[in-house]
Amino acid sequence: MDILIKNGLIISPPMEFFGDVYINNGKIELVGENINKPAQKVIDASDKYIIPGGIDVHTHLDMPYGNIKSRDDFHTGTIAAAFGGTTFIIDFPTQQKGERLETTFMRWFEKSESKSNIDYSYHMIITDPDVLDEDDFNFLVEKGITSIKIFTAYPDRLMLNDKQIFNLMKIAKRYNLLVLVHAENGIIIDELVKFAISRGYKEPKYHAFSRPEIMEAEAVNRVISYAMLLDVPIYVVHVSSYEALRVIKSFRERKNDVLAETCPQYLFLSIDDISRGNEDDYKYIFTPPVREKWNQNFLWDALKDNSLQVLSTDHCPFNFDDKLLGKEDFTKIPNGAPVIEHRLELSFNGVKQNKISLNRWVEINSTNPAKIFGLFPQKGVIKVGSDADVVIWNPNVKRIISHKTHHMNVDYSLFEGMEVFGKAEVVISRGVTLIENDQFVGEMGQGRFIKRREFSMNSLD
């Protein structure tokens, strides 16, 4: 079906102009004023914005966690994403110890193939580099998986030691893979956790007290130092604190391929949310943890001044009952939060409050993720020849977030009762309408695995 969208404010960074968009064969075929092309479907976007579909580069769908799994799979998670205006995600296959990367890939591909309702890609989490050789990295490159993720946290499970990190960065340089890092000092944090438990400090708030900002900053400093020494680009995921940000900013003065993201939960939630002393505290346990509220303005400023380039969600939902597995001991609370549906609307509150511009809002949610992760100009832009991943955003509606109305497969909301402005009214993925009239009307499982190009600083110009 071809679609003509008329009279919207087209926001495609750095541009912003009134006009029409004509979509045919899954691509944007025309962009301009007064397009008079007969189309099977014509949508009036007066008083609305026409933006490139959101790109969420940090999700954990169908992710095993002990005996349970994150509650959204590629079907439910991508429907929820689409309701929020996101038309592309990058998820994280996790290498099991001793496993070759082709096996890891296949395990994850079974979860997503014919199930994902929007296009997607993967970053490969490497937990056991010592069993890998050039075949593994050639395999990633062939598949267009141009980024790997490492952890300095979670000893015995995901964490790599410094030697492994350093050597993996050398390999990443050879294969042009962008290295993503979850940066917290897992060794010291484990000591702090043991100390807390030994003193009987077992409530949720001790999750945050045992993962202090300074241990995030230490790991950020360490991995960026290695990247600096080896002259490789680096991308720090889910930056949560001023301390970590300060390190990133100081490195960026010398090296502009130090890249980083934050997530809505760090912009809107704080340590107050896990310190009420009731069962609600369990809902807000994710890693890195919520911080003191004053950190939030620094994160907003960093999104504005490009110290942070991307807003992602780290979507990793668990039901309230799952969270209560840690009722007697915070270390047993599954870490992670349901966010995939709310990224655009929550950050649009930042536009309303003049924390970021409209253009910047689109940039951090779509254009920059596309540029950094080798998808631009196929995605992340409203341009002739690009994939027709298009959202019609109505900035004039006001809504209250609630678990009763959200589409994520989880029985509580992190943002219950919060007022948000704006809504993804029509969501189109490669020319197929997914969301319209508050309904999912898409073709089930139409999302495709997309090969990404390698990271290049030039794409960020």
* Contact residues: ligand URP, CB under 6 A: 60, 182, 286-287, 314, 316, 335-336
Write down the least CB distance from residue 315 to ligand URP, Å.
Answer: 9
Distance CA 172, CA 271 (A): 36
- The long-range contacts involving 404-408, CB below 8 angstroms and separated by at least 24 positions, are 406/80, 406/83, 406/338, 406/341, 406/342, 407/76, 407/79, 407/80, 407/83, 407/341, 407/440, 408/71, 408/72, 408/76, 408/77, 408/80, 408/315, 408/317, 408/338, 408/340, 408/341
Which CB sits closer to ligand URP, 251 or 318? 318
Residue 4 — φ and ψ, nearest 5°? -115, 120
Name which of 60 and 283 has its Cβ closer to ligand URP: 60
| Residue 314 beta carbon to Zn ion: minimum distance, rounded to whole angstroms | 4
The Cα–Cα gap between 324 and 280 comes to 10
**Residue 335 contact, options Zn ion, ligand URP, none, Cβ 5-8 Å cut-off depending on partner type:** ligand URP
* Closest CB to ligand URP among residues 11, 299: 299
Residues making up the chain, counted from first to last? 461
Query: Least distance from C-beta 312 to Zn ion, angstroms?
Result: 8
Q: Per CB under 5 A, which region of 181-189, 197-205, 206-214, 353-361 contacts Zn ion?
A: 181-189
| Cβ closest to Zn ion, residue 216 vs residue 314 | 314
Smallest CA-to-CA distance from 51 within 88, 12, 19, 25 is with 12
Q: How far is the CB of 460 from ligand URP (least distance, A)?
A: 24
The binder of 336, among Zn ion, ligand URP, none, by C-beta within 5 to 8 A per type, is: ligand URP
Q: Which region, judged by CB under 5 A, interacts with Zn ion, from 175-183, 204-212, 217-225, 340-348?
A: 175-183
Give the interface segment with Zn ion, choosing from 103-111, 138-146, 309-317, 451-459 (CB under 5 A): 309-317
116 φ, ψ (degrees, to nearest 5): -75, 135
Question: At closest approach, how far in Å is the CB of 173 from ligand URP?
Answer: 24
Positive or negative, the CA dihedral 179, 182, 188, 194 is negative
The residue nearest Zn ion at its CB is 182
Based on the shown chain and the rule CB under 5 A, indicate whether residue 314 belongs to the binding site for Zn ion.
Answer: yes
Smallest distance from the beta carbon of 121 to Zn ion, in angstroms?
15
DSSP per position, 48-74: SEEEEPEEEEEE-TT-EETTEE-S--H
With CB cut-offs between 5 and 8 Å by kind, which of Zn ion, ligand URP, none does residue 286 bind?
ligand URP
176 phi-psi bin (left φ>0, alpha ψ -120 to 50, beta other)? left
By beta-carbon proximity to ligand URP, the closer residue of 60 and 355 is: 60
The reply on whether position 216 binds Zn ion by CB under 5 A is: no
Which residue, 336 or 374, is less far from ligand URP as judged by CB?
336
User: Which of ligand URP, Zn ion, none sits in contact with 309, Cβ below 5 to 8 A by type?
Assistant: none
Give the shortest CB-271-to-ligand URP separation in angstroms.
15
Q: In three state form, how does the secondary structure of 218-236 look?
A: HHHHHHHHHHHHHCCCEEE
Shortest CB 181 distance to Zn ion, Å: 9
Enumerate residues 6+ apart whose C-beta is below 8 A from 261: 57, 58, 235, 236, 237, 238, 239, 308, 309, 310, 311, 312
β-pairing, 147-151 vs 178-182, is: parallel
Residue 119: contacted member of Zn ion, ligand URP, none (CB under 5 to 8 Å, by partner type): none
Q: Which helix (H) or strand (E) holds 208?
A: helix 205-209
Q: Residue 81: helix, strand or coil by DSSP? A: helix
β 86-91/119-122 pair status:
parallel
Nearer to ligand URP, 265 or 386 (CB): 265
Please state, in angstroms and rounded to a whole number, the distance separating the CA atoms of residues 206 and 46: 50
Q: Could you tell me the smallest distance in angstroms from the CB atom of residue 424 to ligand URP?
A: 24
Whether residue 314 contacts residue 60, with contact meaning beta carbons closer than 8 Å, is answered with yes
State in angstroms the smallest separation of the CB of 140 from Zn ion.
Answer: 19
Nearer to Zn ion, 20 or 314 (CB): 314
Choose the binding region for Zn ion from 68-76, 174-182, 262-270, 348-356 (rule: CB under 5 A): 174-182
β-partners of residue 394 are 423
Here the tokens at position 124 are: 């490969």
Q: What are phi and psi of 233, to 5 degrees?
A: -70, 155
* Nearest of 146, 63, 139, 134 to residue 101 by alpha carbon: 139
Contact pick of 115, 182, 315, 342 for Zn ion (by CB under 5 A): 182
Q: In this complex, which beta carbon is closest to ligand URP, that of residue 287 or of residue 367?
A: 287
Indicate the burial class of 214 (C-beta count within 10 angstroms; 0-12, 13-18, 19 or more): exposed
Smallest distance from ligand URP to CB 453, Å: 25
Q: Does 149 bind Zn ion (CB under 5 A)?
A: no
Task: Give 316 or 382: the residue with its C-beta nearer to ligand URP.
Answer: 316
Stretch that binds Zn ion, among 36-44, 177-185, 258-266, 317-325 (CB under 5 A): 177-185
Closer of 65 and 175 to ligand URP (Cβ): 65
d(CA 180, CA 447): 24
> Which residues of the chain form contacts with Zn ion (CB under 5 A)?
182, 314
